[in-house]
Amino acid sequence: QGGVILNQTAARALGWDNPADAIGQPLFGNLPRAAVLNGTIVGIANDMHYRSIRTQIEAVSYVNAATRGTMAIKIKPGDNAAALAVIDRVWKQNVPSYPIRRSFLQDDYAALYSGENRTFRLFISLSMTAILIACLGLFALTSFVTEYRIKEISIRKVLGATVASIAAMLSWNFSKLVVLANLIAWPVAWWAMQGWLGNFSYRTDVGISIFLFAGLATVSLALLTTFQRVYSVATANPIQALRTD
């Protein structure tokens, strides 16, 4: 017997549209792995996640059940080792026949999202590898195309084309491939993100801004990758390329 604290979800589940109205009301029932509940609601706690956000917030009651073997202890920051030693000693003095199992709250919360953390690290690794391969391929393509079109570029310069116009022409030739790749990738990425977000109880909208930012970032990276080769060809002396003609 004693006081019971409910979270807001539990109060609503028991019929109180306004959770505060439950305060002072009696509550009876059975608790898993605990004694029969027979007490008075003395408070309402705000809803909070104590499981992964893959699940919705559940109804929770907070009771002082002597049969439950879990205790929460606040430790002064910086004294973890000393505090754990004291806890272990006191535990052995009082319940030596039962081994203690302890963990830090932040570690328990981190374990809830260990799968997401592994997925995130794998995604970052694969993304960086893919970007590196793409940049190497784009640089090789830039070198091949500019070498193949060196005489055309030299003729354009002789006929009055400026360095800026030649650089813009070559940069656009490569950038439009990146733009096309983004247009193809966006629907696939949106579909994949929707599928992954479907694993969670609380959804977030995937706006167009994230795709526009990704497109701008990839085009900028492509321009940086091709800049050195494009600039060297655009500023080269056309006589060197046309000498054999």
Q: SS3 sequence, 108-133?
A: HHHHHCHHHHHHHHHHHHHHHHHHHH
Helix (H, G, I), strand (E, B) or coil at 34: coil
Give dist(CA 59, CA 31) in Å, integer. Answer: 12
Give dist(CA 110, CA 103) in Å, integer. Answer: 11
Residues with Cβ < 8 Å from 230, sequence gap 6 or more? 142, 146, 167, 170, 171, 174
The one-letter code for the residue type at 127 is: S
Report the pLDDT value the prediction gives residue 126, as an integer from 0 to 100: 93
Report the pLDDT value the prediction gives residue 36, as an integer from 0 to 100: 53
DSSP lists the bridge partners of residue 5 as: 43, 62
| Consecutive 10-residue averages of pLDDT for the chain (245 residues) | 82 89 81 61 87 80 70 82 89 87 85 84 92 90 85 84 86 88 91 81 79 91 87 78 61
Phi, psi (degrees; rounded to nearest 5) at 204:
-125, 145
Report the pLDDT value the prediction gives residue 125, as an integer from 0 to 100: 94
Could you report the per-residue pLDDT of 154-211, keeping only the tens digit for each?
888 888 888 888 888 888 888 888 999 999 999 998 988 888 887 777 777 778 888 9
Q: Is the pTM higher than 0.85?
A: no
**Other beta carbons less than 10 A from residue 22's beta carbon:** 21
Helix (H) or strand (E) holding 40: strand 36-45
Report the pLDDT value the prediction gives residue 242, as an integer from 0 to 100: 67
Report the pLDDT value the prediction gives residue 69, as an integer from 0 to 100: 65
Give dist(CA 228, CA 12) in Å, integer. Answer: 65
End-to-end CA distance of the chain: 102
Report the pLDDT value the prediction gives residue 213, as an integer from 0 to 100: 92
Report the pLDDT value the prediction gives residue 212, as an integer from 0 to 100: 92
Report the pLDDT value the prediction gives residue 112, as an integer from 0 to 100: 80
The one-letter code for the residue type at 165 is: S
Report the pLDDT value the prediction gives residue 67, as an integer from 0 to 100: 58
Asked if residue 34 lies in contact with residue 68, where contact means CB atoms within 8 angstroms, the answer is: yes
The one-letter code for the residue type at 220 is: S
Phi, psi (degrees; rounded to nearest 5) at 66:
-70, -20
**Other beta carbons less than 10 A from residue 226's beta carbon:** 25
DSSP lists the bridge partners of residue 39 as: 2, 27
